[in-house]
Amino acid sequence: MKISFVGLGIMGKPMVANLIKAGYVLTVYDINPAAVAEVVQLGAKAAGSCKEAAVGCDVIVTMLPASAHVKLATTGVDGIIHGAPKGSTLIDMSSIAPSTAKEIGGELEKAGIYMLDAPVSGGEPKAIDGTLSIMVGGKQAIFVKCYDVLMAIGSSAVLCGEIGAGNTTKLANQIIVALNIAAVSEALMLGAKAGLDPDLMYKAIRGGLAGSTVLDAKAPMMIAGNDKPGAKIDLHFKDLMNALDAGKEVGMPLPLTSQVAEVMQSLRSQGKGELDHSAMVQFYEGISNFRLKKE
């Protein structure tokens, strides 16, 4: 099976590495030549455009920042739709608006190209390990056909419904993660300002009902002051905006999501959008004039 991969960012590069390890032949494209050169050293072949990357491929995977990037890469002037053969499948693993996924799927269907919208959760560490959680929308037969490709990237892949269902599920995931990070930030700051050691608090809490994957991944980063991005505030904010839009479409109020989005917007206005979303704790440090852990 020949695969092309478009989008070699924080997540895309390790995903490509895992596909190559699984024995797949890959053609890759990204607007960043350095990123392309890096994965070519692993055995991938470079293409000069999205269209060129898709030529002759059975499966084309996209991993891009937002809806606009995916639309341009798939149905733009030099997009995948103009190079992919009929009967091929686009697996878009980006986190985009469900409505955009449906729109792209409709355009591809007219050209005889199948689609799965298959966003992931787990961030850079799980992308490196190949243990991402994959939420999929599309036809059952196409999901089965592409299952082995998905499992070269992740540890689980669940078909949630038709095209758009994958991204709706991802929005739900992003709500849970964002609110959890905010709760961890708020709780650790409460204890720290009361004079407790945040390291000991974390160790005490993690074994109980409040323990979570988010707590284990983000509390140590907050305590260490490590805001190197595995998942950027800007991108998570984009997901929450998509979630709020989706809520309006179906008539579902999302009051907590709206509040956490405002916290992220505050940090973005301070130029912190490129930081890891665990840097949400810096919002609480700012409003309390207190550092989580003193140097």
Other Cβ atoms within 10 Å of 87 Cβ, number:
9
Beta strands 132-137 and 120-121: pairing type? antiparallel
**Which residues are CB-contacts of 44 (< 8 A; sequence separation ≥ 6)?**
5, 16, 20, 26, 27, 28
* 275 alpha carbon, distance to own chain's centre: 15
Token representation of residue 97: 């608006």
Residue 102 catalytic? no
The one catalytic residue among 13, 126, 170, 238:
170
Beta carbons of 9 and 35 less than 8 angstroms apart? yes
Question: In this structure, what are the phi and psi dihedrals at residue 134, rounded to the nearest 5 degrees?
Answer: -115, 125
Which string of DSSP letters, residue by residue, matches 136-183? Answer: EES-HHHHHHHHHHHHTTEEEEEEEESTTHHHHHHHHHHHHHHHHHHH
Report which of 154, 83, 86, 142 is spatially closest to residue 117, judged by C-alpha positions.
142
- Helix (H), strand (E) at residue 4: strand 2-6
Active site residues: 170
